Amino acid sequence: MKGGFSLERARAAQRLLSRRVVTENRVSMPPRYVAGVDVAYAGRFSIGVVAVLDLGSGRVLEVEKSLQETRFPYVPTLLSFREVPPVVSAIRKLKIRPQVFLVDGHGRAHPYRLGFASHLGLVIRAPTIGVAKRILCGRVGKGSSMLWNPILHEGEVVGAEVYTKPGGKPVYVSVGHMVSLETAVKIVLMCVKGHRIPEPILKAHQAASREKERLKNLLT
């Protein structure tokens, strides 16, 4: 790995950091400003994007981007080491301080309990929620709520299968940092505006895709 960062050191860091994740709710409900986070890639570059929405009006208030050379290789279950740096740089540009960040990725629903959302939450010391399109570990059980079913892994509830559109595919929600699973599910559902993906993440993804295309045109 680049910079001499070994797989063993990365795994040890994950185990250490996972113990620091706070799974109790620290978000005042309902949140006013909710941010979406996404990362795109163009050649050797990583594009970190954060989009801040006013939850009441649904308006996009701020979008910030950061372009960095990708320094960590693609390794499944270690994506946070690759994606946290460009996103943190984008978040540092924000003028508005969101109450919570929705992250395109997993939080505690991860084999080492430290997906992108949890890793990011620890770094920025803010509430984060993981919202992924695919399950990474465990199995979906039967829940008592009509809104979501639990994701179980090694005897622990690590996330929730949440249907955001009737008849559509679910998303997989998990605690990132400083939020309970129940509150995470509530916030995700509050941010759905007719699409499968919550609006803050969708806006961040759209901005990241535009920047990716712009860079690809410059690089070719």
Give per-residue pLDDT as tens, 168-208.
899 999 999 999 999 999 999 999 998 999 999 999 999 99
CA distance 28 to 48: 26
- C-alpha 98/C-alpha 35 separation (Å) is 6
Helices (H) and strands (E) in the chain, counts: 5, 9
In order of their start, the domains of the chain are: 2-219 (3.30.2170.10)
The two beta strands, 128-132 and 100-104, are: parallel
Query: What is this structure's pTM?
Result: 0.93
Q: 29: buried, middle or exposed (CB in 10 Å: 19+, 13-18, 0-12)?
A: exposed
Rg from Cα positions in the chain: 17
* 3-state secondary structure (DSSP) of residue 61: strand
Model pLDDT for residues 108-123, shown as the tens digit of each residue: 999 999 999 999 999 9
Higher pLDDT, 43 or 59: 59
Largest separation between any pair of C-alpha atoms in the chain: 53
| Tokens of residue 44, six digits | 């050797």
